[in-house]
Amino acid sequence: MTLVLASTSPRRYQILSLLGLPFLMVPPASREVLSGARPPAQEALHQARQKAASLVSRFPDAVILGSDTLINLDGRLIGKPSSLDDARAILQRLRGRTHDVVTAVSILDQSKNVDAVETARVTIRDFTDTELDAYLATGDPLDKAGAYAIQGAGRDLVASLDGDYLAVVGLPLKAVAEGLAKLGCPVTDVDRLYRERNSLNWRTFGP
């Protein structure tokens, strides 16, 4: 079986590597255009499906994994910033507030499709403008949904996390393992892996 990760994200690559399976990482041939007509979970799932489906013609015999992460702030969807100015505006809206991080996964082969959506709650602390400027200067926010990376320097902006840490980073590993099992590719020791990682404080490690 050939497993293909439809992504350019080094974070998703690192997380999927934890399963110990060989896989290819290939950029999806779809464009991320958000629609306000779909609820957050459905929008994230739509994007994940589009990414996976975009590679079917290139890899007709493969299992293809697509994933997408969105921020839901009081019903308003937030994706990746288009510029540093946009990142500043996004982080200013998130400052001192709690939002949902919605990550969807779509896994498909020639005959089946398995979908999953994980939602976590993240509270951003009331950081100062000086701290915001320093974070923007790192360039880290530019390719991240919500303009921050909880596994990087952006974790210093986070007050609390309620939910799956790896889903917030970009790929809910347990949901992926369960989906692969349904497609005939069982993955062992995922529960142990989660126990080990969840025994650590989310502030102290990245994928």
Residues serving a catalytic function are 68
User: SS3 for 93?
Assistant: helix
Q: Are 120 and 163 in contact (CB under 8 A)?
A: yes
What is the spatial distance between Cα 23 and Cα 1, in angstroms, rounded to a whole number? 9
User: SS3 for 158?
Assistant: strand
Q: Are 94 and 74 in contact (CB under 8 A)?
A: no
| Phi-psi map region of 15: left, alpha, beta (phi>0 left; psi -120 to 50 alpha) | alpha
**Burial class of residue 118 in the structure, from the number of CB atoms within 10 Å of its CB (0-12 exposed, 13-18 middle, 19+ buried):** buried
Rounded to the nearest 5 degrees, what angle is found at the Cα of 36, between the Cα atoms of 32 and 42?
Answer: 70
